[in-house]
Structure 1
Amino acid sequence: MTTETTPPSAAKATLRGSFLAAIFLMATSAIGPGFITQTATFTAQLGAAFAFAILASIVIDFVVQLNIWRITALTGRPASETANAAIPGAGYLLAILVIIGGLAFNVGNIAGAGLGLNAMIGLDPKIGGAASAVVAIGIFLSKRAEVLLDRIIIVLGLVMIAMTLFVALVSNPPVGEALRQTILPDTINFAAITTIVGGTVGGYITYSGAHRLLDKGLTGPHNLASVTRAALTGIAITGVMRFILFLAILGVVTSGVTLDLSGRAANPAAQAFFEAAGSVGLRVFGIVFWAAALTSTIGAAYTSVSFMPVFAPMTQRSRDIATVLFIAISLAIYVAMTTPPAAILVFVGGFNGLILPIGLTIFTYVGFARSDLLGGHRYNRPLLVASAVICALTWYMGYKSVGAIFAFIGL
């Protein structure tokens, strides 16, 4: 009797594919329709000074994702279980907040998918949102859901980057001025920073890539170096994409075009792409926005449901069913709402930015004081100090901007 073994080359390819899937799940979740709309909105308001908020979001993203991915790899547990083990009951609180935030985000994601199809083929946003939700549900119901999830996210992520780069080149932005204000901004807007941080690393987004690695068994000290490289790669991809998108819209704004930020039909990102490249730009926007929305819908549903087993054990089948229901409920809320989609997308970013410091506080505590949960591993002290600083900063930003975020949609 012989035992079949996986060839080393095939094992390495599988490992690379697993890390790549986690990288793009985090990256596409961080570059969703909310981020695109937020970028257009705040670039129109702040101009080149918004570059500072982009830089701040990347620095915060670097610290948050690196620590969350590494600590999750060392504990070998979902974030909610780690939180419960560290502080009894904290995991339940974190799970509830992430699930609520993920649901809010998914309403915005489905709204974004509707806006994308509207720009692409003129489909009514409500119908487009419903059709996109059905596509996402079909992916999870497929017998090859695991493979489909990974491949679709990677392909759509690459499409988003290529299309946005095209518009950035066409819009001819003032790169020098943007670079100057990245370091020396004319104004600093805490509500803008909190919202953009929430749209890129807040709520469920913080844990999307880490939980994907967990599901693929990439945990333990022996995987720590690879996990670190994967996190850094994901952060680099999202950082480049954020600046490219910002520059694309900045080029339009500095050319003298005034983006419409009011009214029920306002879609500043679509207007910016149209002004940059005409009808072709509008179609490109539709593709980018729809791809961003679909991947974020999948990421939000997948990650939010990954927090549910803390309340009761779940089989893979029950997780798939819960994911489908999660998307269906998000769609029902979107169809019933009368708030303009663009306003929804900006608000949910800010809301998730308020959730971020809670989870980061718990993970920073685990790194400092609970080496028993890390398998006795003494966690990197400089990274923990950076985490503590960012933790304090996000609490402060949340305090300073909570009123402005809720006032944005009249709450």
Structure 2
Amino acid sequence: MEQHSISQSAGPMADAPLATPGSQSAKSRRASLTAAIFLMATSAIGPGFITQTATFTTKLGAAFAFAILASIVIDFVVQLNVWRIVTLTRMRASDIANAAIPGTGYVLAVLVIVGGLFFNIGNIGGSGLGLNAMLGLDPKWGGAISALIAIGIFLSKRAGVAIDRLIIVAGVMMILLTLYVAVVSGPPVGDALYQTILPATIDFATITTIVGGTVGGYITYSGAHRLLDKGTVGIENLGAVNRAALSGIAVTGLMRYVLFLAILGVVASGVVIDISGKGANPAAQAFEAAAGNVGLRIFGAVLWFAAITSVIGAAYTSVSFLTAFKPDISERARNLATVVFIAVSLFFYVVITTPPAQMLVFVGGLNGLILPIGLSIFVYAAWARSDLMGGYRYPRWLLVLGAAVCALTWYMGYKSIGPIFALLTATA
């Protein structure tokens, strides 16, 4: 197997160096897999997805179930391929891309970092919406306070363990609250299940946006890079990594559908939800309609947890791509780069006039446009560069599925690019 050097630290979140084969204890491996699962899950079910789900369920009704199903299927194929290839090559995504097709790693790094920056602007906006729903704070002030908290976490020397635990707690809270609201709202489950397979309408811009908000851009690589930094790599860990990827997809898929049902119940009951984008917080309206003022406050807390973990995940993963340009970047430099990344995101959030909810929908679409580029490179690496994985015989079925999803996401991106960018200039 070819030897490839990669940095052993990715800032404060990388609280364990890359391990040598067989060096991880069972307890350590479980901890790293759990951290990767929940980092992927909270990134995939962040404020963007919550806001997008409320917006599109209001717009499409039960037909949005088809977009949920499409996002789960695409997520399944993307994460199984990405986690497997990163684990086997022991390389970051940009290094894999450069090794497979020289120069593409730099392009991928720029796209992920820029997309992550836009996403983080939306994440900070989501944290502002969360504090607005919970405490009544102005969203701009709420976003600024949240960004400063995230910066403080990254400056902490023991941030890694604390962040992992915070992400797990936030994920559990989101699931419990949403299950409660789904039961209270009484959605038309039969119609939702029917339109999951046979939708009344198919909107490619909606599917691209929801896919981008759940597995596009930096989210594609968040869990895989977390495993890399924890040392859960090599063929000896492949079985556990695959099971973790499937567990993560199952958790996120269930959460996506339950959230959709919770909001569908409100929409189907005749409640009118404002999705104009002019300061509207459609998800908060839905939760308040279903569970009253208490539901609104609890929703605000959960949205804030989802947002703050997504701010952390976006910054961590985006900055990890800087190794494409400087492989030997020091831990201190990574820390500073992460802080600067969040600070720049905050600056643009403050000066941009696009309403937070509208920005959260746009950034999902933008990252959906980035997804097929990185996935195409990974599928090529799996097909033509088995030497990067020590001659590992890549499963043909997974390669075929990867190629099919590549073609699908390229087509969706082509059909959606106009409507997605129109979100930035929409006034209604």
TM-score normalised by the chain length of structure 2: 0.93
Out of 301, 305, 318, which is 2:333 matched to?
A: 318
Q: What do the CA deviations read for 1:10-62 (whole angstroms, capped 9, x no partner)?
A: 93222111100000000000001110111011100100000000000000000
- For residue 143 of structure 2, the aligned residue among 121, 129, 136 is 129
Distance (Å, rounded) in 1 between the aligned partners of 2:262 and 2:365? 23
**Matched position secondary structure for 1:408:** helix
Instruction: Report the residue type matching 2:331 in the other structure.
Output: Q
**For residues 11-410 of structure 1, what are the structure 2 equivalents within 5 Å?**
11-312=25-326, 313-410=328-425
Q: SS state of the match for residue 409, structure 1? A: helix
Q: For residue 236 of structure 1, what is the amino acid of its counterpart?
A: A
Question: Which runs of structure 1 show a deviation greater than 4 angstroms over 4 or more consecutive aligned residues?
Answer: none
**Does structure 2 conserve the Cα–Cα contact (< 8 Å) formed by 1:76 and 1:214?**
yes
Does the 8 A contact of 1:40 with 1:268 survive in 2?
yes
Amino acid at match of 1:318: A
Q: Tell me, in whole angstroms, the C-alpha distance in 2 between the residues paired with 1:291 and 1:362.
A: 33
Secondary structure of 1:147's counterpart equals: helix
CA contact (8 A) 1:195 1:351 kept: yes
Query: Unmatched 5+ residue regions in structure 1?
Result: 1-7
Counterpart contact for 2:46–2:307, Cα < 8 Å: yes
Displacement of 1:263 after TM fit? 4.8
Report the CA distance between 1:161 and its aligned residue: 1.0
Counterpart in 2 of 1:5?
A: none
Equivalent pairs, count: 403
C-alpha deviation, 1:73, in angstroms:
0.3
Instruction: List gaps (5 residues or longer) in structure 2.
Output: 1-21
**C-alpha separation in 1, matches of 2:109 and 2:163:** 23
For 2:6, the equivalent position in structure 1 comes to none
Q: Distance in 1 between matches of 2:161 and 2:120?
A: 22
Does the CA-based 8 Å contact 2:277-2:358 persist in structure 1? no
Residues 66-109 of structure 1: per-residue CA shift (max 9 Å, x gap): 10000000110000000001111000000000000000000000
Q: Secondary structure of 1:143's match?
A: coil
Q: Give identity over the alignment, percent.
A: 71
Q: 1:401 corresponds to which letter in structure 2?
A: S
SS at match of 1:338: coil
Which letter does structure 2 place at the counterpart of 1:249? I
CA distance in structure 1 between the aligned counterparts of 2:204 and 2:302, rounded to whole angstroms:
27
How far has the Cα of 1:395 moved from its partner? 0.2
Secondary structure in 1 aligned to 2:112? Answer: helix
- Aligned residue for 1:231, secondary structure, equals helix
1:278-334, CA deviations, whole angstroms, 9 ceiling, x for partnerless residues? 101211220121111011000000000000011012122211111111111101110
Q: Which amino acid aligns with 1:230?
A: A
Q: Distance in 1 between matches of 2:111 and 2:350?
A: 23
Cα deviation code 1:341-387 (max 9, x no counterpart): 01100000000000000000000000011001111111111000000
Equivalent-residue separation in structure 1 for 2:345 and 2:106 (angstroms) = 21
Would the aligned equivalents of 1:164 and 1:288 in 2 still touch at CA under 8 Å?
A: no
- 1:294 is paired with a residue whose SS is helix
TM-score when normalising by structure 1: 0.97
SS of corresponding position for 1:314: coil
Deviations 1:143-193 (A, max 9, x none): 111111211111111111111111111111111111111011111110100
**Which amino acid in structure 2 is aligned with residue 331 of structure 1?**
L
2:258 & 2:316 partners in 1: Cα distance? 27
Q: CA contact under 8 A between 1:273 and 1:284: conserved in structure 2?
A: no
